């Protein structure tokens, strides 16, 4: 049985007053003072050995995290700058590529034009050569035709005159005939 139940059974006030003092968490005696002193000493020892290092550790960790966040933010800014630089370089490369293509196209057009000019010059040369060749062949044909016509004329003339002409007479008649007819009539 405990004191509270004893006081309730006996009903005395003295028993209740003793129970009230005993029922409290702390009794006002020297044990209480030693408990407070032990608690304060334990608090100071824990503060010195545990709280201060833990607080310093937490402060260092917080500082490290803040530094890491700052470094990460700086790295992100640097990365964004690098990306911007890469985009700028890509754009420059594209414009340089387009310029090179434009220059090469212009050069190819110039080269093509020079090839066309050379081909035209060669065609003109071939054409002129062909014209000269045609003119030579024409002259040969005219000369050949003149000889044949002159032979036919001589034959006709000799039959008309019924006399044989010698080579010298033959040449004189040819020259006379050619002089009368003229070169312009032969070319038609």
Residue owning tokens 């065609």: 123
The answer to whether 158 and 165 have CB atoms below 8 angstroms apart is: yes
- For residue 16, the enclosing domain spans 3-187
Q: Cβ(165)–Cβ(173) under 8 Å?
A: yes
CB contact at 8 A, 143 and 186: no
Mean per-residue pLDDT, 36-62:
89
* Average pLDDT along the chain: 79
Token pair, residue 56, equals: 């310093």
The model's pLDDT over 58-84, given as tens digits with 9 standing for 90+, comes to 999 999 999 999 999 999 999 999 999
DSSP code, position 166: -
Residue, of 21 and 125, whose pLDDT is higher: 125
170 vs 153: CA distance, rounded Å: 10
Percent of the chain with pLDDT over 70: 74
3-state secondary structure of 165: coil
Predicted TM-score (pTM) of this structure? 0.37
Instruction: Give the CA radius of gyration of the chain.
Output: 68
Contact 152/144 with Cβ under 8 angstroms? no
Confidence at residue 61, expressed as pLDDT on a 0 to 100 scale: 94
As for how many domains the chain has, the answer is: 1
């Amino acid at each position: 049985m405990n004191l509270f139940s004893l006081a309730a059974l006996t009903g005395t006030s003295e028993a209740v007053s003793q129970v009230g003092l005993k029922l409290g968490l702390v009794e006002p005696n020297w044990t209480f003072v030693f408990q407070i002193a032990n608690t304060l000493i334990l608090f100071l020892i824990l503060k010195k050995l545990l709280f201060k290092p833990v607080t310093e550790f937490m402060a260092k960790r917080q500082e490290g995290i803040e530094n890491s966040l700052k470094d990460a933010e700086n790295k992100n800014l640097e990365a964004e700058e690098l990306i911007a630089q890469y985009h700028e370089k890509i754009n420059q490369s594209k414009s340089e590529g387009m310029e090179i293509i434009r220059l090469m196209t212009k050069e190819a057009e110039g080269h093509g034009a020079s090839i066309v000019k050379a081909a035209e010059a060669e065609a003109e040369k071939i054409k002129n050569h062909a014209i000269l060749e045609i003119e030579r062949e024409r002259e040969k044909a005219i000369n050949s035709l003149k000889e044949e016509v002159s032979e036919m004329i001589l034959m006709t003339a000799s039959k008309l005159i019924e006399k044989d002409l010698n080579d010298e007479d033959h040449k004189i008649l040819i020259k006379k005939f050619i002089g009368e007819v003229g070169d312009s009539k032969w070319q038609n």
